[in-house]
Amino acid sequence: MSSITNSTTQTILSSAKRMEFWFIILISISIAALLKALINFAIPTNKPTNKLPPSPFTIPIISNILWLRKSFLDLEPILRSLYAKLGPVVTLHIGPSTAIFVSDRLLTHQALVQNGAVFADRPPAGAAEQILTCNQHNINSASYGLTWRILRRNMSAEILHPSRVRSYSHARKWVLQILLDRLRSKSEPGEAIRVVDEFHYAMFCLLVLMCFGDKLSENQIKEIGSVQRNLLVRFTKFNVLNFWPTATKILLHKWWQEFYKLHQEQKDVLIPLIRARKKAKEESLSKFKEGKEEYVVSYVDTLLDLELPEEKRKLDEGELMTLCSEFLNGGTDTTSTALQWIMANLVKYPQIQEKLFREIKGVVGDGEVFLIKEDDLQRMPYLKAVILEGLRRHPPGHFLLTHAVTEDTTLDNYLIPKNGVINFAVAEMGWDPKVWEDPMSFKPERFMSSDGCRAGEGFDITGSKEIKMMPFGVGRRMCPAYGLGMLHLEYFVANLVWNFEWKAKDGDCVDLSEKFEFTVVMKNPLQACISPRSKYLP
């Protein structure tokens, strides 16, 4: 009996001690919270006390995963309905992040232009993205700081400088000839051509040449394109791997294997090209110094000599590869997509195509002109208006790349927390009925001056004074290659319209919300001086 009593007493004492322990913890937490509240009241901080922008009803964890599985294309109609209900700034909980979406052009200007330094950062990369970007060592994903400035300045000064852009005119002419020859070889009366593939291939050829400095074979170009496309297309699927990577490496082991395999394939294709260019550069420079050949700088050349001042080292092969990958993807898909939409509208609106052809003919005359020269483009205001209207109505990307803020700040009286993820809706701003009359129509004339002799007069595509559309972004993270992109679009559209008459298949109406094919009817500029009325527009 005595032993039972002692055991019971010990149990009671042990329970009392545990209760006392938790009671002390509870009291300590309560006192700490009270002290924090008193300190905050007595010593106000500069942190905003505003709330996050409104958000739809969500179920924690479940909603996060569901949003994570959606691409921006899936999100866009949902966001449009949320803007109508909640206003131009909304919050979604996507994976481990709280993402804020902005659709208002004035708020976007306030954030990216007026308060650009605060909104110029990028969010930390997820586990999969860290691998693809070598821990964010490329222009698009690098944090706002010295490394980003070095990488961006290198591209702007070494590749995008006007003199360097002119040095690639031979490359543009070469690629244009490839595109025209492929279209001619496939064009038969009444037969449709899937031109999006031809546009993409042509743009990719051009970027490969600018990147690696060599005219690679068709098989090599297709091999590079295949590995780049596989990673790009499947990356939405791999986004899930960023959500709790420790768990996904176990639960989604096969997905990680697939991801590593695709990344290795990219290495196997791009790194040998980088090594070959490094060797060729050394040989070419020695011949150039001897006056034996002309040397044109490639993007890889500029990267080989680049040093990262913070780390006091040159770029390694993985970083060179991710920068080359960024260069190829950034200039190919955007330009080929914009080109496709512009040509689609010229098919749908033949009167615009006719007016554009008249302008080109008025500039180059009736001589034996095979290709439109780059110098002639400056005398074609309607061409520029067509390009601007195409970018406004059909921006290649409907959202900017995700931004992050460097400190707690406010936007439209809402809190944007430090390191908060914020997205800007490009398409919504280009379709704003408060800015553009009948915004969903394709009307290049809206960019023409009253006398019809100048295009885009007073219109600033950089959005520095006011945002009316921003197909290339705005502010400090604006695409540095917007000038090159405009040149490529003007050059290729002018030559495509000059060489071919574009019609819909069998006279069908072109539905710009769906995929479509074109019938290409050849024009022969050589006959312009012989029978301009029978073959060409009078």
What is the per-residue pLDDT across 410-441, written as a single tens digit (0 to 9) for each? 999 999 998 888 999 999 999 999 999 999 99
Whether 358 contacts 498, CB under 8 Å: no
Q: At what angle do helices 195-212 and 317-348 cross, to 10 degrees?
A: 150
Domain annotation covers residue 54: no
- What does the pLDDT look like over 309-323, one tens digit per residue? 888 899 999 999 999
Residue 446 domain-assigned (yes or no): yes
CA distance 189 to 208: 33
Chain-centroid distance of CA 249 in Å reads 29
Reading the block at residue 126, the tokens are: 């997820």
Report strand pairing: 421-424 vs 97-102.
parallel
Residue 479 assigned as binding residue: yes
Give the sheet arrangement for strand 89-94, strand by strand.
89-94, 97-102, 421-424, 403-404
> What CATH number does the domain containing 435 carry?
1.10.630.10
327 within some domain: yes
516: nearest Cα among 524, 506, 531: 506
- Assigned domain for 96 exists: no
Q: Which residues contact 379 (CB under 8 A, 6 or more apart)?
A: 363
Q: Tell me, what's the pLDDT at 201? A: 93
Indicate if the pLDDT at residue 7 is higher than 50. no
The DSSP call for residue 442 is: -
Tell whether the torsion through CA atoms of 204, 321, 473 and 156 is positive or negative. negative
Tokens standing for 147? 């490394």
- What are the tens digits of pLDDT across the range 362-421? 998 876 778 999 999 999 999 999 999 999 999 998 999 999 999 999 999 999 998 888
List CB contacts of 517: < 8 A, sequence separation 6 or more: 192, 193, 194, 195, 505
Answer whether residue 123 is part of any domain. Answer: no
User: Would you place residue 22 in the very low, low, confident or very high pLDDT band (cuts 50, 70, 90)?
Assistant: very low
pLDDT, tens digit (0-9, with 9 covering 90-100), for 223-277 = 999 999 988 888 777 777 877 778 878 888 898 999 899 999 999 999 999 999 9
d(CA 293, CA 285): 9
170: amino acid identity, one letter: H
Q: Could you tell me the two tokens for 518?
A: 């074109």
Is 111 inside any structural domain? no
Supply 32's token pair.
């700490």
Determine contact, residues 101/79, Cβ cutoff 8 Å: yes
The answer to the question of residue 118 being in a domain is: no
DSSP calls for 391-416 = HHHS-S-SBPPPEE-SS-EEETTEEE
Contact 227, 265 (CB under 8 A): yes
Residue 215 — pLDDT band, cuts 50, 70, 90? confident
Most confident of 4-13, 193-202, 451-460: 193-202
Q: Structure pTM?
A: 0.82
Kind of pairing between the strands at 307-308 and 409-411: unpaired
Residue 121 and residue 404 in contact, taking contact as beta carbons nearer than 8 Å: yes
Phi (first) and psi of residue 90, to 5 degrees: -130, 160
DSSP assignment string, 91-109: EEEETTEEEEEE--HHHHH
- Residues near 351 by Cβ (< 8 Å), separated by ≥ 6? none
Would you tell me how many other CB atoms lie within 10 Å of the CB of residue 99?
19
- What letter does residue 121 receive in the DSSP assignment? B
Distance CA(509)–CA(348), nearest Å, equals 7
Number of domains in the chain: 1
Q: Which domain holds residue 504?
A: 132-532
523 assigned to some structural domain: yes
User: Between 195 and 375, where is the model more confident?
Assistant: 375
On whether the CB atoms of residues 164 and 172 are closer than 8 A, the answer is: no
